[in-house]
Amino acid sequence: MDIRTRLLETAEQLFDRHGFNATGMDRLTEGAGISSRTLYKHVGSKNGLIAAVLNERDRRFHRLVEEDSIDALFGALETWLAQEAVRGCLFLRAWGETGGDVPEIAEAMERHKQRLRGRISDIVVAEISQHDDELVETIQLLFEGATHMAAYRGVATVDVARRAAQRLANAARAS
Amino acid sequence: MDIRTRLLETAEQLFDRHGFNATGMDRLTEGAGISSRTLYKHVGSKNGLIAAVLNERDRRFHRLVEEDSIDALFGALETWLAQEAVRGCLFLRAWGETGGDVPEIAEAMERHKQRLRGRISDIVVAEISQHDDELVETIQLLFEGATHMAAYRGVATVDVARRAAQRLANAARAS
DNA sequence: TGCAGTGTAAAACGATCACTTTACCTTCGC
DNA sequence: GCGAAGGTAAAGTGATCGTTTTACACTGCA
């Protein structure tokens, strides 16, 4: 496997499990099986590594939600949560730990949330054949809520969010 | 003002603004205007301080939601977000930064979420005159979602969450 | 009068942080 | 067969971390 890929995958797991600040460079290099010199050649700095992890995660997430349906959206979240022991949104966590003061991290977070909203907007049009900003925002609320509630209540909460989204979409379709 | 109160208020602001790990003891003692010896006399350790901050915040939050109505719940969240520049749920943030490995912090988080759920459960009974676990969970999803979306989209998102909760409660009442 | 309690300032603790440096080894295209 | 590219291990950089210690000042109660 490619060194960079291995590094990003290891880092993502460690960051999620222990937090960003609490994960030292030693643990990262040891986990990825590379020297610290190589790590710095590839990502420049720890913040660079965090940003790279987030951007790769964003790409992976959107590859997971390709179909334009509410079911696909929450199905993706379920898969997402099952294969990674997420403790809330990793983008918001990185942003919070750095106080919003690291541009590359703040931008990665912002970009991810924008893309998420775009996706949901497409889904709403596909589901009810018209634009409805309130419905988009509500589904995003449910999605964001499920992401964080799953951290302390388990994946089952995603189903509740999905059903609520579908009920609201049905109501919007009827009107 | 009481030393302990001043310490907890300062710490809460600094933790929220910069994150827990990134806020050193120097900044805390300087911010509260006390010596490090006094700080350790009062809270024992940094983790003790974090736990104390969370528990005090929990008490303050529940004092804010005394009325049993959906409107009061989201109204409280709005007040909450307006007077503190929150970057997501401070309980989940503390829990995430410490990897869930610090018992006193994990317990503070768990207790807060349990109490929140209890409150919402009471609200549902007051609003639709019967128990409805699915509705409770959905309202919690909207609440949790609003807490985190407000971090990057502003307080306005709370209104959307409130309206969705009310619509779902109305539907549950009718059935 | 004296002493316990509570506070201060400031230095020191060892550990750990992100990051750099030095010196050496392998691999591969020309 | 040579040089550049890209890797390793390991020591060292200065700064900062959470925490403890030393030495001293003020207050209020017995």
- Tell me the pLDDT band of A174, cut-offs 50, 70 and 90: confident
Are B96 and A19 an interchain contact pair (Cβ–Cβ within 8 Å)? yes
CB A157 within 8 A of CB B137: yes
CATH code matching the domain that covers B3-174, chosen among 1.10.1060.10, 2.60.120.10, 3.90.420.10, 1.10.357.10? 1.10.357.10
The pLDDT, as a whole number, for residue B100 is: 97
- Encode pLDDT of A26-77 as tens digits: 999 999 999 999 999 999 999 999 999 999 999 999 999 999 999 999 999 9
Q: What is the pLDDT of residue B18?
A: 97
Measured between CA atoms, the residue of chain A closest to residue B145 is A145
Domain boundaries, chain B: 3-174
Q: What share of chain B is helix, strand, coil (3-state, %, to 5)?
A: 80, 0, 20
Give CA–CA dist B94/B167, Å, rounded.
33
**Mean pLDDT along residues A114-124:** 98
pLDDT at B85 over 80: no
Indicate if CB(B19) is under 7 A from strand D.
Answer: no
Whether CB of A37 is under 7 Å from strand D: the answer is: yes
Residue A85 has pLDDT above 90, yes or no: no
Q: What is the mean pLDDT of residues A127-155?
A: 98
pLDDT at B118 over 80: yes
What number is the average pLDDT over the span A116-144? 98
For chain B, give the mean pLDDT: 96
* Residue from A15, A121, A138 whose CB has the most chain B CBs within 10 Å, to mutate: A138
